[in-house]
Structures are given as structure tokens and as C-alpha cells.
């Protein structure tokens, strides 16, 4: 038979979701204020044309990525606060006296955390990634005057099993990919896997369109031959306007649905796709992390108030949550450095947090 929520489970679940929503609102407000102050200090001061409204808009665009990163704390603080309030109002005592097992109202909360995690990965993450990408573009546009005297060289690499192409340009005009002062270095991939320089093309402009680079005002040179001048040269490309610009973005700016393709394209071009693999595995582990924080918070707040020590136990739960968060960041750093596999780096912290919560819950509930 399908699992049905009783009146008690629904009541506890509603209280839990309200606690998570309140914690999320506090975290989001703090992050938004911090980003606004930081951007006012950097963009607002250096970009003379930036108004307070534009700076606040940048803060709004940048905040969702950070909020999603700290979302496990919303579940930790929200669930912990909800269960502590239930305990202080003696509602937990009444439930336990009525023979209701703690597992009955913790599992619905954990299931809701998993469901919210899935929604976060498949819906909220793409929205946050799009906002982060727009933030980077708007910030670059506002800082354009301040950075005029600094180098803005652009490097792009593409390739397949036959050749590798490295493209260098001084600048790119948005929207689209319209680069100026371009140098294209083409290498042939020998059967033994070594690269052999094939030719070089210098052009005044390069435009990416219809699966090829259109180089205008081009000058081509090959080893042992005299350079030749052409009005236009086309070079096949495995990139398009979206994927070429993605190479300037961090893994956080790539939406969940775009990460598998990004991993394949990056490896095909000869780059290491470890940061994108780690981001993909981290997103896959997000529902488990939310559930782990919910179970951990509930386990640390079930001690009956009359037994004393509830505040200390709840504080220990918060401290342990911070420990798992920093452990998650450490594993991410080790994963980015290829010290440990991306799968291990992404899944170890939530699995350990969930096991810790279940262990304490079994000790508290079953002795």
C-alpha cells in the first residue's frame, strides 16, 4: 500500500517546511546584503556610470548561486528550529507518550528534503546558472571602462581526433562571437598521439557561424612555405556561439542539463573536465545532502526538554553541520585537484552526514 501521511506527520511536516522557509529567508537576505555591499565597494566605486539600482540588480543576479550553495544550512537550521520548538511546547512529549515513533515524522521531513533537492537541481539550478552568466556579462560591461588599460586576451581551444586548434583574440564583441585581431594555431594529431604544427592564420576579424570560423583579412603561413594573404578563410568548428562562450564561464555558470554536453566537449577539445564532472556529481548528490541535514538536525533535537541539555545538544548539531559543510568544501578542493575521484568527492560528505544522523537517531529512539 502507498505510504500515507497521518495528521501528526502532516502537522510536523508543515512545521518543518515553515522552519526551512524562515531559515532560507534569513540566509537569502544576509547574502543579498553582503553582495550589495561588496559590489558597491568594487563595481560601484570603479565603474563611474553604475547606479545604485544597477549595483542592486547585480547583487540579485549573483545571490542565487551562493544561496544554493548554502541551502543545506537552511535545512539544518530550519529543521532544528522546528523540532526544538515542538520540544519546548511539549508537543514531542505528547507524541512520544502516544506511542508515535520518531521515524514516523522524521522520514516525511527527509522525503520532502529530497523532493526539494530534486526541484533545486532540475529547475532552480538552471535559473541560478543563467542569472550567474548574466551577472558576469553585466559586470564586465560596467567594468569595461575601468579595465580598458588591462589585457583582455581570449583563448579558445577546439579539436577532435584528427587535429587541435588554438585560437587567440584580443577582444570579443557581444552578442555572439565576433573577435578581433585573431591568431589561429592548427596542429595535426599524429597516430602516436603527438601534436605536429600544421599552419597558422592571422586575421583581423573572426566570426563563428554555421559550424565554422569565418576569418576576414587573413594571412596564412605554413612551415617551409611563404605566407599568403586571403580576403576570407573558413575553418570548420565543433563549437557554436553558446558553447564557445561557455568556455569563459565557471562550472557554477553551467546549468545542470548542460553539464554532460560540456564535459564531452571539454574532453574532446583536450581539456580536463574534472571541474565540470565534480559540479555534475555535486548536483546529483544535492537531494541526499538536504535529506542528511534534515535527519541530522532532527536527531540532535529529539532529546526531551525535562532531561536537560537540549541547548547543548542542538548546538552540537549546528557545529557538526558546519563540520560537514567544511568537509564538503575540502572534498571539492581535493576533487578539483584530481587527488580523489569526482564521484568520491561529491558523495562522501552527504553519505557520512546521513549515516551520522541515522546513528544518533537509532541511539536516541531505540537505545
SS3 105: helix
- The residue-averaged pLDDT of 9-25 equals 88
The answer on pLDDT for 364 being more than 90 is no
Mention every residue, 6+ apart, whose C-beta is less than 8 A from residue 110: 291, 294, 295
The answer on pLDDT for 362 being more than 80 is no
Higher-confidence position of 176 and 273: 273
C-alpha cell of residue 108: 516525511
- The residue-averaged pLDDT of 60-85 equals 87
Task: Express as a percent the part of the chain with pLDDT over 70.
Answer: 81
- The residue-averaged pLDDT of 157-179 equals 75
Cα separation, 194 vs 236, in Å, equals: 21
The answer on pLDDT for 54 being more than 70 is yes
The answer on pLDDT for 13 being more than 70 is yes
Q: Kindly report the backbone phi and psi dihedral angles of residue 47, in degrees, each rounded to the nearest multiple of 5, phi listed first.
A: -95, 105
Higher-confidence position of 9 and 203: 203
The answer on pLDDT for 165 being more than 70 is yes
Cα separation, 95 vs 100, in Å, equals: 5
Cα separation, 251 vs 275, in Å, equals: 7
**Which residue's entry shows cell 540566509?**
27
The answer on pLDDT for 150 being more than 60 is no
SS3 272: coil
Give kind and range of the element (H or E) at residue 206.
strand 195-209
- The residue-averaged pLDDT of 214-225 equals 87
Question: What Å distances lie between residue 356 and 313, 317, 320, 321, 326, CA to CA?
Answer: 14, 11, 10, 11, 16
The answer on pLDDT for 147 being more than 50 is no
**Which residue's entry shows cell 554536453?**
261
**pLDDT confidence tier of residue 2, bands split at 50, 70 and 90:** very low
The answer on pLDDT for 194 being more than 60 is yes
**pLDDT confidence tier of residue 310, bands split at 50, 70 and 90:** low
Where is mean pLDDT largest: 4-18, 226-240, 279-293? 279-293
Cα separation, 26 vs 60, in Å, equals: 15
Quote the mean pLDDT of the chain: 80
Q: Can you give the pLDDT at residue 237?
A: 82
Q: Where are the domains of the chain?
A: 7-143+274-366, 161-237
Cα separation, 262 vs 344, in Å, equals: 21
Cα separation, 50 vs 48, in Å, equals: 6
The answer on pLDDT for 114 being more than 90 is yes
Q: Can you give the pLDDT at residue 281?
A: 93
- Strand 178-189, strand 228-236: pairing: unpaired
- The residue-averaged pLDDT of 160-189 equals 79
Task: Express as a percent the part of the chain with pLDDT over 90.
Answer: 14
Q: Can you give the pLDDT at residue 5?
A: 64
Higher-confidence position of 58 and 363: 58
Amino acid at each position: 500500500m502507498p505510504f500515507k501521511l497521518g495528521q501528526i506527520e502532516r502537522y510536523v511536516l508543515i512545521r518543518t517546511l515553515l522552519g526551512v522557509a524562515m531559515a532560507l529567508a534569513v540566509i537569502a537576505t544576509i547574502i543579498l546584503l553582503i553582495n550589495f555591499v561588496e559590489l558597491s565597494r568594487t563595481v560601484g566605486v570603479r565603474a563611474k556610470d553604475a547606479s545604485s539600482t544597477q549595483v542592486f540588480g547585480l547583487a540579485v543576479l549573483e545571490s542565487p548561486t551562493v544561496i544554493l550553495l548554502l541551502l543545506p544550512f537552511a535545512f539544518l537550521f530550519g529543521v532544528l528550529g522546528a523540532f526544538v520548538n515542538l520540544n519546548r511546547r511539549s508537543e514531542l512529549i505528547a507524541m512520544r507518550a502516544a506511542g508515535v515513533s520518531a521515524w514516523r515524522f522524521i522520514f516525511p521531513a527527509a522525503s520532502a528534503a529530497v523532493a526539494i533537492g530534486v526541484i533545486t537541481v532540475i529547475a532552480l539550478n538552471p535559473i541560478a546558472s543563467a542569472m550567474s552568466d548574466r551577472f558576469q556579462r553585466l559586470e564586465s560591461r560596467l567594468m569595461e571602462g575601468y579595465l580598458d588599460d588591462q589585457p583582455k586576451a581570449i583563448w579558445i581551444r577546439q579539436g577532435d581526433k584528427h587535429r587541435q586548434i588554438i585560437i587567440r583574440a584580443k577582444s570579443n564583441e557581444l552578442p555572439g562571437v565576433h573577435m578581433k585581431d585573431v591568431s589561429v594555431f592548427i596542429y595535426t594529431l599524429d597516430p602516436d598521439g603527438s601534436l605536429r604544427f600544421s599552419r597558422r592564420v592571422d586575421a583581423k576579424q573572426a566570426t563563428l557561424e554555421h559550424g565554422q570560423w569565418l576569418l576576414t583579412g587573413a594571412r596564412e603561413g605554413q612551415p617551409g612555405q611563404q605566407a599568403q594573404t586571403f580576403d576570407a578563410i573558413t575553418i570548420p568548428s565543433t563549437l557554436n556561439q553558446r558553447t564557445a562562450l561557455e568556455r569563459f564561464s565557471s562550472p557554477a555558470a553551467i546549468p545542470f542539463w548542460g553539464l554532460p554536453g560540456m564535459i564531452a566537449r571539454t574532453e574532446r577539445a583536450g581539456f580536463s573536465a574534472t571541474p565540470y564532472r565534480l559540479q555534475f556529481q555535486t548536483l546529483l548528490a544535492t537531494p541526499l545532502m538536504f535529506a542528511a541535514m534534515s535527519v541530522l538536525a532532527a536527531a540532535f533535537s529529539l532529546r526531551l526538554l525535562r532531561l536537560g541539555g537540549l541547548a547543548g545538544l542542538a548546538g552540537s548539531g549546528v557545529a557538526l553541520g558546519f563540520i560537514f559543510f567544511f568537509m564538503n568544501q575540502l572534498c571539492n578542493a581535493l576533487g578539483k585537484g584530481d587527488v580523489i575521484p569526482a564521484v568520491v568527492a561529491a558523495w562522501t560528505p552527504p553519505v557520512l552526514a546521513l549515516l551520522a544522523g541515522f546513528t544518533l537517531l537509532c541511539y536516541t529512539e531505540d537505545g
